[in-house]
Amino acid sequence: MPRVSQDQLDARRQEILAAARGCFARHGYEGATVRRLEEATGLSRGAIFHHFRDKDSLFLAVAEDDAATMVETVARNGLVQVMRELLESATSPDTAGWLGSQLEVSRRLRTDPAFARRWAERAAAVADATRERLVRQREAGVLRDDVPIDVLAQFLELAYDGLVLHLAMGRPAGDLDPVLDLVEEAVRRRPTPGS
């Protein structure tokens, strides 16, 4: 029997995550039955659960993958860029999957104390990346200095949560770019008069 390389295993794992993300988005956690996961991935339950212990582990891996991507984007370009990317792809099937996993995470945070405890570390990573980015922006002189970093971080997090809710409610993405421009402008350093 030919050996499977680690690269092949990693690629298969990513394929499963992508398909499962869409399945969880379409059907919710409870509705994403093993049969539906098999259909979405094109794999048997044995193949799926070779990579993930159970459905809960698979969902957590999807959510962690999304959180890791978000942390990278925040660290590189800020939370407003995450919002822009979400808005850009609001009509894409991939966004529905991402948005669906975010909504399912929110629901489980409210209803599943064990999940909330496990998720706290991921949420802290996003919050830390946001604050670190804000500190770097302030040190570079592009971030307003009349508002504490924690308040600016909370403002951006609320804007992000509001955008996710807006899209989750099925409201049109429309042209929200000017709104995101306003959010970004609200945290930037204001020019002093005469400069």
pTM to 2 decimal places: 0.78
Cβ within 8 Å of residue 62, ≥6 positions away: 17, 20, 21, 24, 101
What percent of the chain has a predicted confidence (pLDDT) above 90?
A: 42
pLDDT class of 3 with cuts at 50, 70, 90: confident
Rounded Cα distance, 35 and 26, in Å: 14
Q: What are the DSSP calls for 30-95, one per residue? A: HH--HHHHHHHHTS-HHHHHHHSSSHHHHHHHHHHHHHHHHHHHHHHH-HHHHHHHHHHTTTSHHH
Give SS3 for 188. strand
CA 123 to centroid of chain Cα atoms: 10
Q: Which of 156 and 99 is assigned the larger pLDDT?
A: 156
pLDDT confidence of residue 82: 87
**Torsion over CA of 166, 170, 173 and 174, rounded to 10 degrees?**
-120
pLDDT class of 195 with cuts at 50, 70, 90: low
Architecture of domain 57-187: Orthogonal Bundle (1.10)
Report domain extents, the chain: 57-187
Number of H helices, E strands in the chain: 9, 0
What percent of the chain has a predicted confidence (pLDDT) above 70?
A: 91
Half-sphere exposure of 36 (CA within 13 A, CB side): 15
Quickly tell me which residue has 């370009």 as its tokens. Answer: 77
